[in-house]
């Protein structure tokens, strides 16, 4: 049996093949092509966003996002369980998030409308 170590180029190729397969089946709705490849996909029960955080892709459920904080070219996704930092601009986050579930309330903050308890 031969064991092969996969390099970064191989991983990117596998990811692109998976993304194309998702596009063909209609499961994913990718936004305009970016090097970061952030997109929303719909699972059986809920929608989630895949974001590139440092060296790996992180699956974040849209229902778990409390708010998103922007600082320059970085966005911090604050969820019910943890925080995830991604190299992304505020406009990119606005473009991929559903407007009926999220609102931009400040130049550096987007909030989940379902988690607002009082104003």
Q: Tell me the per-residue pLDDT of 48-93, one tens digit each, with 9 for 90 and over.
A: 888 888 788 888 889 999 999 999 999 999 999 899 999 888 998 8
For residue 118, the model assigns a pLDDT of 85
Both structure tokens of 49: 């966003």
In a domain, 67, yes or no: yes
Mean pLDDT score of the chain: 76
Greater confidence (14 vs 31) lies with: 14
Q: Span 30-43, mean pLDDT?
A: 50
Greater confidence (34 vs 100) lies with: 100
In a domain, 1, yes or no: no
For residue 66, the model assigns a pLDDT of 95
Range of the domain at 23: 8-115
- Per the structure, how many domains does the chain have? 1
**Alpha carbon distance 54, 84 (integer Å):** 10
In a domain, 51, yes or no: yes
CATH number, position 20? 2.40.50.40
Name the E strands within 62-108: 65-71, 74-79, 83-87, 102-106
How many of the other CB atoms lie within 10 Å of CB of 116?
A: 12
In a domain, 3, yes or no: no
Phi, psi angles (nearest 5°) of residue 55:
-110, 0
Element holding 30 (H helix, E strand): strand 28-30
% of the chain residues with pLDDT over 70: 62
């Amino acid at each position: 049996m031969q064991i092969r170590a996969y390099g970064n180029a191989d991983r990117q190729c596998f990811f692109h093949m998976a993304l194309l397969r998702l596009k063909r089946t209609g499961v994913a709705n990718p936004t305009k092509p970016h090097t970061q490849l952030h997109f929303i996909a719909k699972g059986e029960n809920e929608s989630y966003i895949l974001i590139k955080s440092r060296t790996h892709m992180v699956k974040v459920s849209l229902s778990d996002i409390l708010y998103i904080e922007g600082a320059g070219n970085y966005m911090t996704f604050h969820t019910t369980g943890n925080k995830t930092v991604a190299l992304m601009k505020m406009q990119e986050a606005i473009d991929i998030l559903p407007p009926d579930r999220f609102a931009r309330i400040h130049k550096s903050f987007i909030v989940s409308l379902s988690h607002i308890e009082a104003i």
